[in-house]
Structure 1
Amino acid sequence: MATLLRIDSSASGDNSKSRQLADAFVAQWLAKNPDGQVVVRDVNAKPLPHFTSETLGALFTPEQDRTAEQQAIVAIGDELIEELEVADVVAISAPTYNFSIPSTLKSYFDYVARAGRTFKYTEEGPVGLVKKDAYVFLASGSFLENTPYDHQLPYVKTFLNFIGLNVKDAFVAGGQALGEDGEKAFTSAKGRIAEAV
């Protein structure tokens, strides 16, 4: 049975355009994988703690020496990484907040980036260890893609590639605060999803 891990981050609920794009993808994926399982990780509904000195200290403390508090901190990342490892495909939806991704999604990235587990360093540079495909669904109020102000899509692709995920496609709905032009961009992005799955 195939498993799709869906990670959502928008604070806009059902009104979120990035979530709506992910909804369309999930529907298409389930149509092709009727016995498939969808695991949802909503980092807006259940935000993760920010990465702090306590987090770093817990990770760098040998397992046998960790306090109960440190064990609980490490367990957060363990759960997230296990979800990634068992998934066959990953779908990530995110809005643009102040030229970047939501801090809730950044926290997720911080927890799943773990040396020796999701990536390793070699003499040739870092190597990602989570070998599977990912799809990305993004939205923004204006048209930022392929401009100097787009710090969202390039960053997401860079991070996912860093841990080994192959971004098969990205669906971007820009201009969502610009009326008709934004509606056209959303319709276009949604239409491409049916072709990609």
Structure 2
Amino acid sequence: MTHILHLDSSPRGSRSVSRSLTKEFVAGWLQSHPSDRITYRDIGKYPVPPVDEAWIAASFSKSEPLASELTNALRVSDELIDELLIADRYVFGIPMYNFSVPANFKAYIDQIVRVERTFTPNWQGLVTNKKMLIITTRGGSYFNAPSSKQLDFQEPYLRAIFEFVGITDITFIHAENLTMGDEARERSLTTARTAIQSLISAW
């Protein structure tokens, strides 16, 4: 039995394209793998807090055990990391905001990228033998023109940060041109949905 962590980060609710695409993948996956387990995390509707001074103090503290206030400062981080580590695979929906990731997803990253939990002091990733699917949604296109590629800080960042913690088997499906007219939008969504169906069979 495979355990999948399904995470959505769009705050748009039912109007979100990234949510609809991750939902489509998970529904299709469960049709083929009905015994698999899904854990769902919605940081668009329920954002995680950004790290603060207490979090930093607790994360780098050498004291064992931690004082109660420091333990409390890491409570959300511990929950999110435990959830990440117990899963075998990940399906994340992440819209592009200003050429990168939404602030709520950056807050999630800052909570889970933690020394001694997801990487070692020597920068060795501890989240290994996992697979990840990231479905992004974008208003324009970042595949072809060099000038456009240079503005894509989303995929390079996501690939780098997850590889840093040990997740190296990462697949991206980009639904692009969503604000470039109905024809371009539908063409891109069709391509993304075809990729989703193909991945369900091959993943």
The verdict on a shared fold, with TM-score over 0.5 as the criterion, is: yes
Match of 2:140 in 1: 142
Per residue, is there more strand in 1 or in 2?
Answer: 1
With the length of structure 2 as denominator, give the TM-score of the two structures: 0.89
With the length of structure 1 as denominator, give the TM-score of the two structures: 0.92
Check conservation: 2:58, 2:66, Cα contact below 8 A.
no
- Output the amino acid matched with 2:89: V
Q: Across the two proteins, how many residue pairs are aligned to each other?
A: 193
Match of 1:183 in 2: 186
SS at match of 1:64: coil
Check conservation: 1:145, 1:153, Cα contact below 8 A.
no
Shift in alpha-carbon separation, 1:168–1:64, aligned structure 2, 3 A: closer
- Output the amino acid matched with 1:170: F
SS at match of 2:101: coil
5 Å matches for 1:1-197?
A: 1-61=1-61, 62-66=63-67, 68-122=68-122, 126-131=123-128, 132-145=130-143, 147-179=149-181, 180-197=183-200
SS at match of 1:90: strand
Check conservation: 1:140, 1:176, Cα contact below 8 A.
yes
SS at match of 1:191: helix
CA offsets 1:136-170 (integer angstroms, 9 cap, x no match): 00001111346111011111111111111134311
Check conservation: 1:142, 1:178, Cα contact below 8 A.
yes
Deviation larger for 133-142 or 26-35: 26-35
Q: Pairwise CA RMSD of aligned residues?
A: 1.5
Check conservation: 1:19, 1:137, Cα contact below 8 A.
no
TM-aligned CA deviation for residue 53 of structure 1: 2.1
TM-aligned CA deviation for residue 70 of structure 1: 2.0
CA offsets 1:2-23 (integer angstroms, 9 cap, x no match): 2110111001112211112211
Distance 2:150 2:194 in 1: 26
Gaps of 5+ in 1: none
TM-aligned CA deviation for residue 63 of structure 1: 4.0
Check conservation: 1:6, 1:38, Cα contact below 8 A.
yes
- Output the amino acid matched with 1:130: V
Distance 1:77 1:88 in 2: 19
